[in-house]
């Protein structure tokens, strides 16, 4: 997760003690604060029904060059048909412009006989992409689409193609050109994908259906899967964004619609993008660069230093404690009567150990530390008279945890700092079924992963607790 400030190692030791022993290169105001309903997603009820192809609906039958007529090619063609049908209505309604279907669809096998598409060979090209040169969309049926389908379900395939067609939308609108930075194009395309999926969640797609609970979580998990590698540069030619940035853009489209997507420009992206490169002085502690050992005593001391600067009410203590007015939650528990946070170190290590090739792990150090932070947030809520149980509490907790994360960006030069991949770990944790970052004192999480991430992001982009307490108080 977090790295120690390189220039002040001695200061870190003296800190307050804690009581513990992507796409192919082919694309080259004011007013009252609205209080979101924790049982809704951007105004839609949280649902847990089926997500995927609608049963009994005939295939769209779009022509696909080089297709082997496999199930995954039919899935892809149906996805393209639904996305294009959506934009054929949406573009005239929102922008007064027509949406013409793309001129060519091509399926290829990255492990088979190569084709030349958009000026490049498809040999080993595990990807899907829009090509402006010939106004086409192509996809790898050999590895990419089957892998997405197997890992996240068929709607992951739809998500990737909705993103690619988002590029077709932006070029039809003329909102980008060859000089536009890639990251801006990609943020717009993620946003347009979110706009399309709003219509699917509303039941408007001919071939697909989507629940706003588990189904929407799978879409956001797909964005996590296809994020840039931790430490990549947002200025790189092929930059798409980390998971936090990609999910942000998707949520903007889902919540606010296509006009909001069209407003994404260089200035906006530069102001909110969180993707960053590793500091040359970051050390790999055997867990992958940017990850601390979460049971390291000095790291826990530094963690409490940053937490008490924001939430002075809480105190970290050794071991699990009995509590008369709070339920034990793992890996961190908050006891209101004593204002103490206790740790289950074994489970903390499990969550904080990132997965590595050939080794099953948890999520990463920031996910574990953010779970501790969420219990400190509860201490703040208790001290300021807020309720400690219920879905609204989970939203407020996620928002305050995000606010704390915003205080440990590298610019703050604190005892601990965010490193590349940390915010992605938070997204991953909040998409799990039992997210503690977005849970109340008893460990009950906000029903929707979408709502959890949205609340965390509100806190991260705030300058203090006011936006959290005004927007998410029950």
In this prediction, residue 5 carries a pLDDT of: 44
Residue 419 phi/psi, 5-degree rounding, is: -120, 165
Secondary structure E strands in 397-436: 416-418
**Helix, coil or strand: residue 332:** strand
Asked if 361 contacts 417 with a C-beta cutoff of 8 angstroms, the reply is no
In this prediction, residue 328 carries a pLDDT of: 92
Shared domain for 137 and 249, answered yes or no, is: yes
Shared domain for 426 and 375, answered yes or no, is: yes
Q: Which residue has the tokens 């082997």?
A: 68
Distance of CA 265 to the CA centre of its chain: 20
In this prediction, residue 283 carries a pLDDT of: 63
Answer with the one of 272, 297, 332 that is the final residue of a domain: 272
In this prediction, residue 290 carries a pLDDT of: 82
28 occurs within a structural domain: no
107 occurs within a structural domain: yes
Shared domain for 52 and 173, answered yes or no, is: yes
Distance of CA 211 to the CA centre of its chain: 18
Q: Is 179 exposed, middle or buried (0-12, 13-18, 19+ CB in 10 A)?
A: exposed
* CA-closest candidate to residue 245, choices 233, 262, 258: 233
Shared domain for 119 and 136, answered yes or no, is: yes
130 strand-pairing partners: 137
Distance CA 461, CA 467 (A): 10
Shared domain for 58 and 194, answered yes or no, is: yes
33 occurs within a structural domain: no
Residues in the chain, total: 474
Answer with the one of 245, 272, 299 that is the final residue of a domain: 272
Contacts 24+ apart (CB under 8 A), 321-328: 326/388, 326/441, 326/442, 327/441, 327/442, 327/443
Residue 29 has which token pair? 């105001």
29 occurs within a structural domain: no
32 occurs within a structural domain: no
Q: How far is CA 354 from CA 148, 152, 304, in A?
A: 21, 20, 22
Residue 432 has which token pair? 């799990």
Per DSSP bridges, beta strands 136-140 and 128-131 are antiparallel
Say what the pTM is: 0.90
26 occurs within a structural domain: no
In this prediction, residue 433 carries a pLDDT of: 87
Shared domain for 460 and 407, answered yes or no, is: yes
Asked if 210 contacts 254 with a C-beta cutoff of 8 angstroms, the reply is no
Q: Which domain holds residue 301?
A: 2-21+281-472
Distance CA 51, CA 210 (A): 4
Shared domain for 253 and 340, answered yes or no, is: no
Shared domain for 368 and 446, answered yes or no, is: yes
Shared domain for 467 and 430, answered yes or no, is: yes
Shared domain for 188 and 206, answered yes or no, is: yes
Shared domain for 259 and 312, answered yes or no, is: no
Answer with the one of 272, 302, 326 that is the final residue of a domain: 272
Q: How many domains does the chain have?
A: 2
358 occurs within a structural domain: yes
pLDDT tens for the chain, 474 residues long, are 554 543 333 232 222 223 333 343 344 333 445 678 888 999 999 999 999 999 999 999 999 999 999 999 999 999 999 999 999 999 999 999 999 999 999 999 999 999 999 999 999 999 999 999 999 999 999 999 999 999 999 999 999 999 999 999 999 999 888 889 999 999 999 999 999 999 999 999 999 999 999 999 999 999 999 998 888 888 888 889 999 999 999 999 999 999 999 999 999 999 999 998 987 766 666 667 788 999 999 999 999 999 999 999 999 987 777 888 878 999 999 999 999 999 999 999 999 999 876 566 699 999 999 999 999 999 999 999 999 999 899 999 999 999 999 999 998 888 899 999 999 999 999 999 899 999 999 999 999 999 999 999 999 999 999 999 999 986
Q: Give 295-322 as a DSSP string.
A: T-HHHHHHHHHHHHHH-TT-EEESS---
Q: What is the CA radius of gyration of the chain?
A: 23
Asked if 198 contacts 259 with a C-beta cutoff of 8 angstroms, the reply is no
Shared domain for 246 and 297, answered yes or no, is: no
Distance CA 410, CA 418 (A): 6
């Amino acid at each position: 997760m977090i790295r120690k400030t390189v220039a002040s190692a001695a200061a870190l030791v003296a800190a307050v003690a804690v009581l513990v022993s992507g796409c192919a290169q082919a694309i080259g105001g004011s007013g009252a604060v609205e209080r979101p309903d924790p049982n809704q997603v951007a105004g839609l009820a949280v649902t847990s029904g089926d997500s995927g192809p609608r049963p009994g609906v005939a295939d769209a039958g779009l022509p696909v060059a080089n297709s082997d007529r496999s199930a995954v090619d039919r899935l892809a063609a149906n996805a393209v048909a639904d996305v294009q049908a959506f934009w054929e209505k949406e573009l005239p309604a929102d922008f007064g412009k027509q949406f013409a279907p793309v001129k060519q669809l091509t399926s290829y096998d990255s492990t088979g006989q190569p084709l030349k598409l958009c000026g490049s060979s498809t040999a080993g090209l595990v990807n899907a992409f829009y090509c402006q040169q010939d106004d086409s969309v192509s996809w790898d049926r050999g590895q990419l689409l089957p892998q997405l389908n197997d890992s996240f379900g068929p709607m992951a395939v739809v998500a990737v193609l909705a993103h690619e067609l988002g590029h077709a939308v932006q070029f039809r609108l003329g909102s980008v050109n060859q000089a536009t930075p890639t990251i801006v194009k990609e943020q717009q395309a993620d946003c347009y994908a979110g706009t399309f999926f709003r219509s699917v969640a509303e039941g408007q797609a001919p071939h697909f259906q989507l629940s706003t609970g588990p189904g929407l979580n799978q879409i956001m998990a797909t964005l996590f899967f296809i994020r840039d590698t931790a430490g990549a540069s947002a200025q790189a030619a092929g930059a798409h964004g980390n998971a936090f940035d990609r999910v942000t853009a998707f949520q903007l489209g889902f919540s606010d619609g296509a006009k909001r997507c069209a407003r994404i420009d260089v200035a906006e992206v530069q102001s909110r993008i969180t993707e960053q490169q590793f500091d040359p002085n970051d050390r790999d502690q055997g867990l992958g660069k940017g990850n601390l050992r979460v049971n390291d005593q000095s790291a826990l001391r530094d963690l409490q230093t940053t937490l008490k600067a924001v939430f002075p009410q809480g105190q970290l203590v050794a071991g699990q404690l009995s509590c008369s007015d709070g339920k034990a939650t793992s890996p961190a528990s908050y006891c209101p009567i004593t204002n103490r946070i206790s740790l289950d170190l074994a489970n903390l290590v499990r969550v904080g150990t990132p997965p590595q090739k050939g080794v099953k792990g948890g999520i990463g150090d920031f996910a574990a530390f953010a779970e501790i932070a969420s219990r400190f947030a509860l201490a703040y809520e208790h001290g300021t008279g807020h309720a400690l149980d219920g879905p609204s509490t989970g939203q407020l907790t996620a928002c305050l945890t995000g606010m704390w994360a915003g205080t440990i960006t590298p610019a703050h030069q604190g005892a601990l700092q965010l490193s590349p991949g940390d915010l992605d770990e938070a997204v991953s944790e909040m998409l799990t079924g039992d997210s503690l970052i977005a849970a109340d004192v008893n460990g009950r999480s906000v029903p929707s992963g979408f709502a959890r991430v949205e609340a965390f992001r509100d806190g991260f982009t705030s300058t203090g607790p006011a936006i959290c307490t005004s927007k998410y108080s029950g």
